[in-house]
Protein backbone atom coordinates (compact mmCIF):
# COMPACT_ATOMS: atom_id res chain seq x y z
CA UNK A 1 0.00 0.00 0.00
CA UNK A 2 1.12 3.51 -0.76
CA UNK A 3 1.81 5.47 2.36
CA UNK A 4 1.98 9.23 2.53
CA UNK A 5 2.59 10.62 5.98
CA UNK A 6 2.55 14.16 7.26
CA UNK A 7 4.45 15.22 10.34
CA UNK A 8 1.52 16.67 12.26
CA UNK A 9 -2.26 16.35 12.16
CA UNK A 10 -2.81 19.59 14.05
CA UNK A 11 -0.51 22.57 14.43
CA UNK A 12 -0.97 25.92 16.14
CA UNK A 13 1.49 28.71 15.40
CA UNK A 14 1.74 32.44 15.99
CA UNK A 15 1.81 35.15 13.38
CA UNK A 16 5.32 35.70 12.09
CA UNK A 17 6.64 32.28 13.03
CA UNK A 18 8.45 30.13 10.50
CA UNK A 19 6.51 26.92 9.95
CA UNK A 20 7.67 23.65 8.45
CA UNK A 21 5.22 21.03 7.22
CA UNK A 22 6.82 17.72 6.35
CA UNK A 23 5.58 15.05 4.00
CA UNK A 24 7.10 11.64 3.41
CA UNK A 25 6.08 8.95 0.92
CA UNK A 26 7.38 5.42 0.85
CA UNK A 27 6.60 4.35 -2.71
CA UNK A 28 9.49 5.94 -4.58
CA UNK A 29 7.16 8.33 -6.37
CA UNK A 30 8.72 11.00 -8.55
CA UNK A 31 5.97 13.61 -8.13
CA UNK A 32 4.93 15.28 -4.92
CA UNK A 33 2.39 18.01 -4.30
CA UNK A 34 1.23 20.44 -1.64
CA UNK A 35 -2.37 21.64 -1.59
CA UNK A 36 -4.38 23.73 0.77
CA UNK A 37 -8.04 23.06 1.30
CA UNK A 38 -10.48 25.73 2.42
CA UNK A 39 -14.26 25.54 2.75
CA UNK A 40 -15.98 26.29 -0.53
CA UNK A 41 -12.71 26.53 -2.45
CA UNK A 42 -11.79 22.88 -2.81
CA UNK A 43 -8.14 21.94 -3.25
CA UNK A 44 -5.72 24.56 -4.49
CA UNK A 45 -2.23 23.64 -5.55
CA UNK A 46 0.57 25.51 -3.80
CA UNK A 47 3.70 23.84 -5.18
CA UNK A 48 4.70 20.59 -6.76
CA UNK A 49 7.91 18.76 -7.47
CA UNK A 50 8.64 16.22 -10.18
CA UNK A 51 12.14 15.34 -9.06
CA UNK A 52 14.65 15.88 -6.31
CA UNK A 53 15.62 19.55 -6.04
CA UNK A 54 13.04 20.45 -8.67
CA UNK A 55 9.99 22.53 -7.85
CA UNK A 56 7.26 24.32 -9.70
CA UNK A 57 4.77 26.91 -8.52
CA UNK A 58 1.15 25.94 -8.41
CA UNK A 59 -1.84 28.25 -8.34
CA UNK A 60 -1.20 29.97 -5.00
CA UNK A 61 2.54 29.93 -4.17
CA UNK A 62 2.66 33.35 -2.51
CA UNK A 63 3.83 33.18 1.09
CA UNK A 64 5.14 29.63 0.71
CA UNK A 65 8.31 27.89 -0.31
CA UNK A 66 9.24 24.22 -0.64
CA UNK A 67 12.21 21.96 -0.36
CA UNK A 68 12.87 18.56 -1.85
CA UNK A 69 16.33 17.34 -0.92
CA UNK A 70 15.39 13.66 -0.99
CA UNK A 71 12.98 11.84 -3.24
CA UNK A 72 10.76 10.67 -0.43
CA UNK A 73 10.44 13.98 1.41
CA UNK A 74 8.74 17.21 0.38
CA UNK A 75 8.62 20.09 2.82
CA UNK A 76 6.34 23.10 2.77
CA UNK A 77 7.68 26.22 4.46
CA UNK A 78 5.80 29.26 5.62
CA UNK A 79 8.53 31.85 6.05
CA UNK A 80 6.40 34.15 8.19
CA UNK A 81 3.04 32.67 9.04
CA UNK A 82 -0.03 34.86 8.74
CA UNK A 83 -3.61 34.32 9.88
CA UNK A 84 -4.81 33.90 6.29
CA UNK A 85 -2.66 30.80 6.06
CA UNK A 86 -4.87 29.03 8.56
CA UNK A 87 -6.04 26.05 6.56
CA UNK A 88 -5.90 22.32 5.97
CA UNK A 89 -2.73 21.34 4.13
CA UNK A 90 -2.67 18.17 2.09
CA UNK A 91 0.35 16.45 0.65
CA UNK A 92 0.12 14.01 -2.26
CA UNK A 93 2.45 11.91 -4.36
CA UNK A 94 2.19 10.12 -7.68
CA UNK A 95 4.48 8.09 -9.91
CA UNK A 96 5.64 9.23 -13.31
CA UNK A 97 4.25 7.85 -16.51
CA UNK A 98 0.79 7.60 -17.87
CA UNK A 99 -0.18 4.14 -16.91
CA UNK A 100 -2.76 3.01 -14.48
CA UNK A 101 -0.53 3.69 -11.52
CA UNK A 102 -0.27 7.44 -11.95
CA UNK A 103 -3.02 8.25 -9.51
CA UNK A 104 -2.30 10.72 -6.72
CA UNK A 105 -2.18 9.38 -3.19
CA UNK A 106 -2.84 11.73 -0.32
CA UNK A 107 -1.61 12.07 3.22
CA UNK A 108 -3.97 12.60 6.18
CA UNK A 109 -3.59 16.37 6.15
CA UNK A 110 -2.28 18.95 8.62
CA UNK A 111 -4.74 21.40 10.07
CA UNK A 112 -2.74 24.57 10.70
CA UNK A 113 -4.06 27.40 12.83
CA UNK A 114 -2.17 30.68 12.86
CA UNK A 115 -3.07 32.94 15.78
Instruction: Give dist(CA 90, CA 98) in Å, integer.
Output: 23
Q: Which of 15, 23, 22 is nearest to 79 (CA)?
A: 15
If one asks whether residue 43 binds other proteins (CB under 8 A), the answer comes out as yes
Listed residue (18, 32, 13, 9) closest to 86, CA to CA = 13
Query: In the complex with other proteins, which residue's Cβ is closer, 47 or 114?
Result: 47
83 counts as binding other proteins under rule CB under 8 A: no
Task: Indicate whether 86 belongs to the interface with other proteins (CB under 8 A).
Answer: no
Task: Check residue 93 for interaction with other proteins (CB under 8 A).
Answer: no
Give yes or no for a contact between 85 and 7, defined as CB atoms under 8 angstroms apart: no
Interface residues toward other proteins, by CB under 8 A: 9, 31, 33, 40-43, 45, 48, 50, 58, 88, 90, 92, 94, 96, 98, 100, 102-109, 111
Amino acid sequence: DVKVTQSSRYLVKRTGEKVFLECVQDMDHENMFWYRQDPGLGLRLIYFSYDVKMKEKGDIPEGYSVSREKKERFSLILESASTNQTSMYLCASSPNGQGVTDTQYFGPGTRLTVL
